Structure 1
């Protein structure tokens, strides 16, 4: 995918991945803040947050509220294994579907209790 075809959040995430692959970002390194990256890329903070969410999902970074986001110890391995990334995405989708189903079932049971 060319840079022009990428969404801004995808470009930011890809830049971080590339920096990890090239050894410019190492395990434990702290990423720039959301605000700094938003300024650097000329995007909204939410766009950077979306890139961080993708990187967390792929196992490249982890975040601590109030402390920042950091490169995971096994980030390079996560980038090298697309199967593991696909499995993580599927696990997240299944967890999301389970949560939605539980909400639907809860709404149905509370609705039937009210109509009784």
Structure 2
């Protein structure tokens, strides 16, 4: 599939997958910021967020608010993996998202109580 035929967010997802597959992005590698990716791909930040969400769901990256997005420890071995392990990766990504949201809620509640 050519880049012209894909959605902009899919192009970002594919490029990040390719960089993981080639070893350019390894476990723990910090991805460029949303703004940097938006500039690189000439897209809106929301498009980058959509791509990052898909990469998180695929278990290839995880994100920490205020720190950025990072390649998971298992990403290099799982880029082409479509077995039951993908379910475990998806669950791990969802668990990380829930933990992030829980931390956000706790901070908001703390500010409200102060």
TM-score normalised to the size of structure 1? 0.71
Structure 2 unpaired stretches of 5+: 92-114
Change (3 A) 1:24 1:90: closer
SS in 1 for 2:48: helix
Q: Kindly indicate whether structure 1 or structure 2 has the higher relative contact order, using CA contacts under 8 Å at least 6 residues apart.
A: 2
Where has structure 1 moved over 3 Å in runs of 4 or more?
A: 84-91
Task: State the Cα distance separating 1:4 from its structure 2 match.
Answer: 1.2
Task: State the Cα distance separating 1:88 from its structure 2 match.
Answer: 6.5
Q: Which has the larger radius of gyration?
A: 1
Change (3 A) 1:16 1:84: farther
CA RMSD of aligned residues (A): 2.1
Q: Which residue of 2 aligns with 1:29?
A: 29
Aligned length: 91
CA deviations on 1:33-59 (whole Å, 9 max, x unpaired) are 000100111000000000000000101
Q: Which residue of 2 aligns with 1:74?
A: 74
TM-score normalised to the size of structure 2? 0.72
